[in-house]
Amino acid sequence: MKDIAPRNDTFAPFCGIKLEECKNGFARSTMKVEQHHKNGIGTVHGGALFTLADYTFAAAANSRGTDVHVVVAINAQISYMKAVTEGILTAIAEEIKFDTKVPVYIVKIFNEKKELVAVFNGMGYKKEVKK
């Protein structure tokens, strides 16, 4: 990974998120469900799932390096499909469009049975890097 942005992230590791793969607009991350990831009804918090997806989106969007610009999220949407209570979650980012000022990615989160847990749609903005 040439990108420094995901590497300096502190919130993702705080949440237990690990970047497993990241190159050419693709990224894959994992998060092992812990007790502190839960919402009031005992399932994984929507914010934890969103963070996993958002981090994976940022990794994919910056996977080609951040020498010229860094992609920051301006807009994101998430649909929740399945409540999860345990196991390792995997997020996979697919690049929809990169050759634009506002690149778009779809991220899918799966549980260990490869069932779809959530679908995330993120739009970034290419910010010039000042040197």
Query: Using CB under 8 A as the criterion, which residues of the chain lie in contact with its own copies when the complex forms?
Result: 3-12, 14-15, 35-42, 45-48, 50-52, 54-55, 58, 62, 70, 72-81, 83, 96-97, 100-102, 104, 106, 116, 119, 121, 123, 125
Closer to its own copies by Cβ: residue 38 or 64: 38
Closer to its own copies by Cβ: residue 74 or 112: 74
| CA neighbours closer than 13 Å in the CB half-sphere of residue 74 | 11
- Which of 42, 43, 61, 63 is CA-nearest to residue 120? 61
Q: Parallel, antiparallel, or unpaired for β 17-23 and 88-97?
A: unpaired
Residues 6+ positions from 41 with CB-CB distance below 8 Å? none
Closer to its own copies by Cβ: residue 24 or 46: 46
Is 57 in contact with 107 (CB distance < 8 Å)? yes
The two tokens of residue 87 are 């196991």
Q: Parallel, antiparallel, or unpaired for β 104-110 and 26-32?
A: unpaired
| Minimal distance, residue 119 CB to its own copies, in Å | 6
| Minimal distance, residue 11 CB to its own copies, in Å | 4
| Minimal distance, residue 13 CB to its own copies, in Å | 8
Closer to its own copies by Cβ: residue 20 or 78: 78
| Minimal distance, residue 127 CB to its own copies, in Å | 8
